[in-house]
């Protein structure tokens, strides 16, 4: 009898058992394997990229891989997190606001994920407390072990069954030693114990220091970090060494000795020109083969698809170059706009063009510290990204006015759609006091507003539109052409405020075209200027659906227009 079967048997016999391991009906130990990725020394090493890359290699071998990110913070989801604190908030098709690593998973694996692929401490504790209030623990004193850890394991096993995964790739967020993720590490130790030998593989992504004043790589921090992991009862099977330069064999030997990991499974994951070359780097190091051997999976090597190899080649060896101005207020942290950057990369690859980004802080323009003409004179297109709050908006409006008047390609995303409407209303329609009720409590012309009756029509039950929704595209418009003459497309939303339908007639009369709207209700979702080379604003986030081999059509059109403008 295996460990899991023994636990089931004991738990059924008596409620006094110290075991709490709820198992989904029909779950069979060994049918799904678990690849568990942890981090040591420091956060931000690229565990998400590593997880996605290994997942892609497993996928290339014909296996179904379901990734999951586990974050220890007590937020239920990432929706309320400031981009400066946690980077971009990524939105899934089902409306879940989550960590940006899920965007990486979707792009590498080319598949839509759901709320099953994301777990936070807050989400787990919410479920534990709900179950406790309902009497689900039958009078037991509820504890981290076995109840919190039991719920985590149940979440993973449900994911395995619901997605029919051959492998669940579990990324444990944060760093070993953090108090906030202790219970996740303990749950992973228990999971490996219960699933039995050959059903789990632990990978630790660590950091190898290379101080400039020494001129050599140092492994002591990595050794101590891995030791902290082993103190938790977790023996890593593979060590991935992040570093600026290739990690020397000598350093890998040292880490091997201190971690009980064969030196061939201590691999260098040094900086690369593009994250999309990481799968090839790991494959060349034999990591996919090692993972499959540890998990007792058949190695069915297949060559990477020609389309993927062409994409990577075009990404790393582009001869042409174009500069795009990113006009936002979170420009101090590039991760705030991660998906936009990736969407530009995807489109740039198709045109074999390197898309450079000039970061333009609109707060500085708003305060008069910087001049719009000087800031935009050397760019071939601008993007006004999404965001919340008033800060920097007047600077964005000035940038939009410049783009409209000077035929500079413009792409407005969510807030960028709203700011374009305000600029047009003020400077073309003569509605000088036009504004959004988000920025001004009682503007004379609220062209952007929260419209409760529209929310009621859509049955949202709240004031935030989230997730994938259909957009009806008007025929014979730029949007219609960009989307391949489709009249219905699906995109992802994350916003509260929108176009006030009372102002649609005056805006259209003065030349603004609403080329996309919500089905059945007068909610405008795409705007454009027909006589402009490229002036498009969208209420959604097209970057969330862009993939390496299938760039979002709006980004493709924008980058193409920028290339033409720059010639």
Of these ranges, 117-121, 130-134, 518-522, the one predicted with the greatest mean pLDDT is 117-121
| Rounded distance between C-alpha atoms, residue 276 and residue 284, angstroms | 14
Across the range 508-518, mean pLDDT stands at: 97
Strand, coil or helix: what is 146? helix
Burial of 506 per CB tally in 10 Å (0-12, 13-18, 19+): middle
**Which of 275, 260, 245, 271 shows the shortest CA–CA distance to 338?**
275
Q: Is the pLDDT of residue 318 over 80?
A: no
Residue 330: pLDDT band by 50, 70, 90 thresholds?
A: low
Secondary structure of 305-344 in HEC code, one letter for each residue:
CHHHHHHHHHHHCCCEEEEEEEEECCCCCHHHHHHHHHHH
Residue 221: predicted pLDDT: 95
Residue 146: pLDDT band by 50, 70, 90 thresholds?
A: very high
Residue 463: pLDDT band by 50, 70, 90 thresholds?
A: low
| Rounded distance between C-alpha atoms, residue 564 and residue 567, angstroms | 5
- Cα 130 to the chain's mean position, in Å? 29
Supply the pTM of this predicted model: 0.92
Characterize the bridge pairing of strands 97-98 and 90-91: antiparallel
Tokens of 443: 């503007």
| Rounded distance between C-alpha atoms, residue 47 and residue 118, angstroms | 15
Contacts of 88 (CB under 8 A, 6+ apart): 100, 103, 335, 336, 337, 338, 339
The H-or-E segment that residue 452 falls in is helix 452-458
Tokens of 234: 């977790």
| Rounded distance between C-alpha atoms, residue 458 and residue 520, angstroms | 9
Cβ(423)–Cβ(400) below 8 Å:
yes
Q: Is the pLDDT of residue 3 over 80?
A: no
Quick check: is 414 catalytic? yes
Which backbone phi and psi does 261 adopt, to 5 degrees?
-110, 125
Residue 391: predicted pLDDT: 84
Quick check: is 543 catalytic? yes
Residue 392: predicted pLDDT: 84
Which residue is listed with tokens 């938790």?
232
**Which of 171, 174, 237, 247 shows the shortest CA–CA distance to 210?**
247
Could you give the count of Cα atoms lying within 13 Å of 22 in the half-sphere of its Cβ?
A: 15
pLDDT tens, residue by residue, 24-73 = 999 999 999 999 999 999 988 999 999 999 999 999 999 999 999 999 99
Contacts of 415 (CB under 8 A, 6+ apart): 384, 385, 386, 387, 388, 393, 396, 495
Strand, coil or helix: what is 520? coil
User: What percent of the chain has pLDDT above 90?
Assistant: 78
Residue 102 CB neighbours (<10 A): 24
DSSP-derived secondary structure letter, 184: H
Residue 1: predicted pLDDT: 47
Among 151, 194, 195, 543, which one carries the catalytic annotation?
543
Residue 460: predicted pLDDT: 42
pLDDT tens, residue by residue, 341-374 = 999 999 999 999 999 999 999 888 888 888 999 9
- Cα 292 to the chain's mean position, in Å? 26
Q: Is the pLDDT of residue 10 over 60?
A: no
Give how far Cα 241 sits from Cα of 71, 258, 290, 465, Å. 22, 14, 16, 41
Across the range 528-550, mean pLDDT stands at: 97
Quick check: is 541 catalytic? yes
- Where do the domains of the chain lie, and which CATH numbers do they carry? 33-304 (3.40.50.300), 310-566 (3.40.50.880)
- Long-range CB contacts (within 8 A, 24+) of 479-482: 479/515, 479/516, 479/526, 479/528, 479/536, 479/554, 480/515, 482/553, 482/554, 482/556, 482/557
Tokens of 364: 């500085």
Length of the chain: 567
Residue 13: predicted pLDDT: 44
Cβ(356)–Cβ(328) below 8 Å:
no
Among 65, 414, 429, 499, which one carries the catalytic annotation?
414
Instruction: Round the average pLDDT of the chain to a whole number and report it.
Output: 91
pLDDT tens, residue by residue, 259-317 = 999 999 999 999 998 999 999 999 999 999 999 999 999 987 777 788 998 899 888 88
DSSP-derived secondary structure letter, 486: -
Contacts of 139 (CB under 8 A, 6+ apart): none
Q: Is the pLDDT of residue 12 over 60?
A: no
Q: Is the pLDDT of residue 449 over 70?
A: yes
pLDDT tens, residue by residue, 205-220 = 999 999 988 889 999 9
Q: Is the pLDDT of residue 139 over 60?
A: yes
């Amino acid at each position: 009898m295996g460990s899991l079967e023994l636990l089931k048997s004991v738990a059924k016999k008596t409620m006094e058992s110290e075991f709490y391991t709820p198992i989904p009906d029909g779950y069979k130990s060994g049918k799904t394997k678990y690849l568990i990725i942890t981090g040591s020394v420091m956060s931000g090493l690229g565990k998400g990229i590593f997880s996605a890359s290994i997942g892609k290699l497993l996928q290339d071998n014909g296996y179904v891989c379901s990734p999951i990110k586990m974050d220890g913070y007590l937020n239920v989801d990432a929706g309320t997190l400031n981009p400066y604190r946690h980077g971009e908030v990524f939105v899934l098709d089902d409306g879940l606001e989550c960590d940006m690593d899920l965007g990486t998973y979707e792009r590498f694996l080319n598949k839509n994920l759901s709320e099953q692929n994301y777990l936070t401490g807050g989400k787990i504790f919410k479920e534990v407390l709900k179950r406790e209030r309902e009497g689900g623990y039958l009078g037991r004193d509820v504890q981290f072990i076995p109840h919190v850890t039991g719920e985590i394991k149940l979440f993973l096993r449900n994911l395995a069954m619901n997605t029919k995964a051959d492998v669940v790739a579990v990324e444990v967020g944060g760093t070993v030693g953090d108090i906030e993720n202790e219970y996740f590490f303990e749950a992973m130790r228990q999971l490996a114990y219960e699933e039995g030998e050959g059903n789990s593989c632990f990978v630790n992504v660590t950091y190898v220091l290379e101080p400039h004043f020494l001129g050599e790589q140092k492994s002591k921090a990595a050794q101590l970090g891995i030791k902290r992991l082993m103190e938790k009862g977790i023996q890593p099977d593979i060590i991935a060494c992040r570093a600026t330069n290739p990690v020397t064999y000598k350093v890998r030997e040292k880490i091997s000795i201190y971690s009980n990991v064969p030196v061939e499974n201590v691999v260098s994951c040094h900086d690369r020109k593009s994250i999309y070359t990481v799968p090839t780097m790991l494959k060349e190091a034999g990591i996919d083969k090692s993972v499959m051997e540890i998990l007792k999976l058949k190695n069915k090597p297949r060559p990477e698809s020609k389309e993927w190899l062409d994409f990577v080649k075009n990404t790393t060896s582009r001869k042409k170059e174009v500069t795009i101005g990113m006009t936002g207020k979170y420009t101090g942290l590039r991760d705030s706009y991660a998906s936009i950057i990736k969407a530009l990369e995807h489109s740039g690859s198709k045109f074999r063009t390197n898309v450079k980004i000039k970061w333009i802080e609109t707060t500085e323009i708003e305060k008069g510290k910087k001049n719009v003409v000087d800031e935009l004179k050397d760019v071939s297109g601008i993007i006004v990204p999404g965001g919340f709050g008033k800060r920097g908006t007047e600077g964005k409006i000035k940038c939009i006015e410049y783009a409209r008047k000077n035929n500079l390609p413009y792409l407005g995303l969510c807030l960028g759609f709203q700011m374009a409407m305000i600029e047009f209303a003020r400077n073309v329609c003569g509605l000088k006091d036009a504004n959004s009720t988000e920025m001004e409590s009682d503007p004379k012309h609220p062209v952007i507003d929260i419209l409760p009756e529209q929310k009621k029509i859509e049955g949202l039950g709240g004031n935030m539109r989230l997730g994938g929704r259909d957009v009806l595209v008007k025929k014979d418009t730029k949007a219609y052409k960009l989307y391949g003459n489709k009249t219905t497309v699906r995109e992802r939303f994350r916003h509260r405020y929108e176009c006030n339908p009372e102002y649609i007639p005056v805006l259209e009369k003065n030349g603004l075209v609403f080329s996309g709207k919500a089905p059945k209700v007068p909610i405008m979702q795409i705007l454009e200027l027909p006589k402009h080379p490229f002036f498009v604003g969208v209420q959604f986030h097209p970057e969330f659906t862009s993939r390496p081999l299938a760039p979002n059509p709006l980004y493709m059109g924008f980058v193409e227009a920028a290339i033409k403008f720059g010639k």
